[in-house]
Structure 1
Amino acid sequence: MRTRLRAVVVLFAALTAVASVVSTASASPSTPLLTNVRVGAHATYDRIVLDFTGPKPTIPFAQVVPELTYDGSGLPVNLPGTYFYQVVTWPGAAHDDNGDPTYTGPRKFTTPQLSNVQAFAITGDFEGQLTVGLGYRRATWQSVSVLENPTRVVIDIGV
């Protein structure tokens, strides 16, 4: 009886240790969390900066699209502009694990201080992916980069 009890205790301890290792190994790294959106006008480009806390996201996927739509629903985003630029940051989110917003500013706003970019919108924030869109007046070049210290995604649109 004692041998059997000892075997059960040893087996339980071994399974607990294995479960702990598996749990630690399968935990995903932290998701960069959006904390602020800034805009700035420059002589040859308009700049939109997405400030994040946490690790650096991978290089975002960005493309000119015929129209902006909300992720998930596919409904159109009503944003001023003749041209539209979509930037997907992964991993990325504008909310924490409890669903509380980490970015409390407007999810959609116009940018009258910029020369070409007319408006900004967060068009998706789920499953570890953050999507934003820009509406702008004139066809031109676009650039997206990820910087550290502090973590940020920088979107430049030529004027």
Structure 2
Amino acid sequence: MGRKRTAWATAAALMVATLGVAAVPAEATTTTTTQTTACPTGWGSLTKTRSAATTESVTNIRTGRHACFDRMVVDVPGAGTRGLGYTVGYVSRLYQDGSGNYVPVGGGAVIEVRVAAPAYDPDTGKPTYPARAGQRLPGVDLTGYRTFRDARFAGSFEGETQIGLGVRAKLPFRVWVATDRIVIDVAHNWTGAR
């Protein structure tokens, strides 16, 4: 009779243990879920312009990668936000102001970035941004970017700096101004998916 009781007790213990696991509420179990972040899609691809001008100079152009877009930042220290003007839009080919020379820019589409600030000191004519017309932007490495393909300095002429930004395809973009800088974000796609 002792063996029957032990067998029965073992079976009862297994049954209780099984019911106990089955009774654990779903929210208490650990699961891995994939979160999908929606990216903004309403930027459009039309030319964006802001009228303003400054006597301050461009000192740096840098880029960065983000979850939904690639970013270019043009630094103009001392310009604040009121003095920063720009024209940013897609072009079929990039031509240098003044000379009219063609500046080849790699990628499936080209965005021309015009900043209403010189890349030189207006008083002395000395460059404030160490770039050469037609060459890649110094210090900018676009390896691993989803959207950006090429970034070329076109020049600085009559108080305006011109940049060619090569992108994978014609994609939506936005332009906004922060203190002492102009920011250009180009989306990774049109759908807003990451």
TM-score (norm 2): 0.60
Alignment of 1:155 onto 2:184: yes
- For the 8 Å contact 2:93–2:104, the answer to whether it is kept is no
- For the 8 Å contact 1:116–1:158, the answer to whether it is kept is yes
> Hey, which of these two has a bigger chunk of strand by percent?
1
**The residue matched to 1:47 in structure 2 has which SS?**
strand
Larger radius of gyration: 2
Instruction: Give the direction of change, closer, same or farther, for the CA distance of 1:75–1:51 in structure 2 (3 Å limit).
Output: same
**Aligned match of 1:145 in 168, 172, 176?**
176
Instruction: Give the direction of change, closer, same or farther, for the CA distance of 1:79–1:30 in structure 2 (3 Å limit).
Output: closer
Matched to 1:32, the amino acid is: E
Mapping 1:20-59, distance limit 5 Å: 31-56=55-80, 57-59=83-85
Task: State the distance in 1 between where 2:54 and 2:111 align.
Answer: 27
Task: State the distance in 2 between where 1:113 and 1:72 align.
Answer: 34
**Aligned match of 1:89 in 115, 119, 122?**
115
RMSD value over aligned CA atoms?
1.9
Q: Aligned-pair distance for 1:59?
A: 3.4
- For the 8 Å contact 1:72–1:124, the answer to whether it is kept is no
**Aligned match of 1:63 in 64, 71, 89?**
89
| Identical counterparts, % of pairs | 33
Structure 2 alignment gaps of length 5 or more: 1-52, 189-194
Q: Aligned-pair distance for 1:105?
A: 5.2
Task: State the distance in 1 between where 2:64 and 2:127 align.
Answer: 24
Partner residue in 1 for 2:125: 99
Task: State the distance in 2 between where 1:105 and 1:145 align.
Answer: 23
Task: State the distance in 1 between where 2:186 and 2:54 align.
Answer: 29
The size of the alignment, in residue pairs, is 128
Q: Deviations over 1:22-59 (max 9, x none)?
A: xxxxxxx8512111111101111000111112224333
Matched to 2:56, the amino acid is: P
Partner residue in 1 for 2:41: none
Alignment of 1:75 onto 2:101: yes
**Aligned match of 1:108 in 124, 136, 139?**
136
Task: State the distance in 2 between where 1:85 and 1:30 align.
Answer: 22
**The residue matched to 1:61 in structure 2 has which SS?**
strand
